[in-house]
Each structure stands twice: as structure tokens, then as C-alpha cells.
Amino acid sequence: MDKLTDFFKMLSDETRVRILVLLYHKKLCVCQMCGIMNETQPKISKHLAKLRDMGFVKDERKEQFIYYYLNLKDELFENVVKSIIESIDEYETLKMDLKKINTAEEFLNTCR
């Protein structure tokens, strides 16, 4: 039951929902998410740490970057995220984030 309540607590924050939607589509590093979401590195890192500690996000190192990806092992959790994505037209902020995801590679330059 703790995992279920943790999941819904995680969804109660806009930044974490935005991160989940982005990571559903692509592995990203912090600087890419900062560029896409127009948020600060400390804010994104704080939310990623929480998501990682809760087990919903994992990371892997590639050269000097740490890339994050979703780890939704529970079918219910995956279905909730899929439902959000299927309704993306209702959420302007999420829609704008996804439009920028194709330019994520450009944001790597800000990390170097």
C-alpha cells in the first residue's frame, strides 16, 4: 500500500509529472530537462532524487552525463502515466514540453 500512496503523492507535484511525461518518451539528463522545462538545475535535481528514491526513476552514466529513465514496473502506474499522455492535449504545459523534447540534444551544450 505504501508504494501506491507514494505514487499518488508523486503525482501531486507538477514538476514531477512533467518529468515523468518527458522520461516516458526519452532518456534525458538534468540539463536537457532544465532546458525543456525552463526550470533550474537544483529544482529538477531535487525532484529527480525524490523520484529515484521512490523507485520510479533510474539513472545511468554515459561519459560525463547521468541520464534518467522511467522505472514503472507496476502496470497500474504505467497505465496512469499512459492515460496522462493520451490526454496530453488537455495539458498545455505538458504539450509544450513534448514539443521541445526533439531539441533535447541542443541543451547538452549548456552542461559543458
Q: Where are the domains of the chain?
A: 2-111
SS3 20: helix
Minimum mean pLDDT range among 18-22, 38-42, 53-57: 53-57
Question: Considering only CA atoms, which of 70, 94, 80 is closest in space to residue 8?
Answer: 80
Give me the helix-helix angle, 30-37 and 92-100, nearest 10°.
130
Kindly report the number of other CB atoms within 10 A of residue 105's CB atom: 8
Task: Report the predicted TM-score, pTM, of the whole model to 2 decimal places.
Answer: 0.90
Read off the pLDDT of residues 23-40 as tens digits, 9 standing for 90 and up.
999 999 999 999 999 999
- The reply to whether CATH 3.30.70.360 applies to domain 2-111 is no
Asked whether residue 62 carries a pLDDT value surpassing 80, the answer given is yes
Q: What is the pLDDT of residue 12?
A: 92
The Cα-based distances of 10 to 50, 65, 107 in angstroms read 8, 25, 26
